[in-house]
Structure 1
């Protein structure tokens, strides 16, 4: 308790530079510390000014801790992605490099940080006049392999929704939905996907996205579904929901 009180006093004395305090003493900002502040807050119920003071410091500490942890996670993700990318580039053959990407995808280790790194490398190679065409082709091939794997990690219903939402004409949307609800052999390729689902399953995904949007719970969705939550897309999702209700459910 004494340690928590000391940390609270130190944070209060350095309120304008709270992020530096967290950076220096992150390990001390434990769950026990914040629970201690909650007890202090409750014990000060007869002193509103003191309560507000405690709540203000606690809020700033929590925000600084969250920002610090997020930065640490991002830095760790970059380091991990760099190691994976270097391992891929150091492969003795293109086939082995491609297999490494496939294996990363199977283990759910082909994340957005690594994908961005591969994309930037390929984009930079296109603009370079010093890189050999063979090297550019290799980077492009690795980019396409990684992109294909990332695409396959996205739930097929989300991929179907993405496709349907790109269609402006309601008749084209209806035709695409009808095709998606007609069972057949599924095909996942570099240039085209033939995916099938049910009206109920697609409707469920639309409801999930809309509920998350209207309840301000974006982080409750996987990243691929979060991309459907832009204000310009929500209106089209609502219209698509009505189409499903009217035509297929």
Structure 2
């Protein structure tokens, strides 16, 4: 309790430095801390004081979410860059292509790495100063990536197509929840249904959106090329945000009832 009180005082003393405080003390912004803020708010005598604490809690929650997502993005990019550097440092292009196949087999060919490889080939292809040997290397890595993507978890692509074809938002949300609920011991309730995890489906949505962003209508990922209609892209973004908010952020955010209390104050 003393630690929560001390953290709250630090924030109140420097309200414009919340981001710096979070960077330095992220581990202290726990569920218990936000519950403590709820308690402080409830014990305030005036509505003005309660409102001030509630708004401060909301700012902290938002800043923590932004910090975590930024950190995750940086870590993903660092990891992808390390993999890309390893590919370039391979003794031969054939070895590099085999590494790409191995990454795909281990489901480590993530969207950030795919984007790096695609971007490298796009830059090399349009370059007037880069040697043809380098262009050939980038092209072969790109082709190996494209080929490997086709072998990776096709059920997520089929599931995405199914979800995107559902026009009713509530029905789509229900189908999404069902896709994440295979039942006990991961036995599918419907043998013809497709099941996956939020993290895995989120990864594939990112791959589709990255491919769309990079090449728009000229994307070489066949599934992404079929999903370039504005309404489909909009639904992809909605699915991505829904998975992030409803399934991937649950461990970070305060409990639902705590958030509800904050919103009601």
TM-score band (shorter)? 0.5 to 0.7
1:132 aligns with 2:142: no
**Residues 211-230 of structure 1 deviation map (CA, whole Å, 9 limit, x = unaligned):** 48779x9xx65354585697
Q: Secondary structure at the match of 2:66?
A: helix
Shift, 1:106, TM fit: 1.6
Partners of 2:18 and 2:171 in 1: CA distance: 32
The answer for the alignment partner of 1:69 in structure 2 is: 68
Instruction: Indicate the SS of the match to 2:130.
Output: coil
Contact 1:91–1:97 (Cα < 8 Å) also in 2: yes
- Asked whether the equivalents of residues 213 and 229 of structure 1 are also in contact (C-alpha less than 8 Å), the reply is no
Equivalent residue, structure 1, for 2:220: none
SS in 1 for 2:91: coil
The 1:223–1:85 alpha-carbon spacing in structure 2 relative to 1, beyond 3 Å, is closer
What residue in structure 1 maps to residue 215 of structure 2? Answer: none
CA distance in 1, matches of 2:109, 2:7: 40
Distance 1:148 1:41, change over 3 A: farther
Deviation at 1:209, TM superposition (A): 8.5
CA–CA separation in structure 1 for the residues paired with 2:34 and 2:167:
33
SS in 2 for 1:109: coil
Change (3 A) 1:38 1:235: closer
Q: Displacement of 1:151 after TM fit?
A: 4.1
Q: Is the 8 A contact 2:22 2:29 kept in 1?
A: yes
Structure 1 unaligned spans of 5+: 163-201, 237-249
What residue number does 2:3 align with? 3
For 2:131 and 2:77, the matched residues in 1 are separated by 27
Distance in 2, Cα, partners of 1:131 & 1:81 = 23
Question: Aligned pairs, how many?
Answer: 194
Q: Which residue matches 1:16? A: 16
2:231 counterpart residue number? 232
Question: Could you list the per-position Cα deviations for residues 43-76 of structure 1 after superposition, in whole angstroms to 9, with x for gaps in the alignment?
Answer: 33x5322221111111111111111111111111
Q: Which has the larger radius of gyration?
A: 1
1:34 aligns with: 34
Provide the TM-score with structure 2 as the length reference: 0.61
Could you list the structure 1 runs, at least 4 aligned residues long, displaced by more than 6 angstroms after superposition.
212-215
Gap runs ≥5 in structure 2: 177-197, 210-226, 236-265
Q: Which moved more, 1:149-158 or 1:117-126?
A: 149-158
Q: Which residue of 2 aligns with 1:103?
A: 102
Which structure is higher in RCO with an 8 Å CA cutoff and minimum separation 6?
A: 2
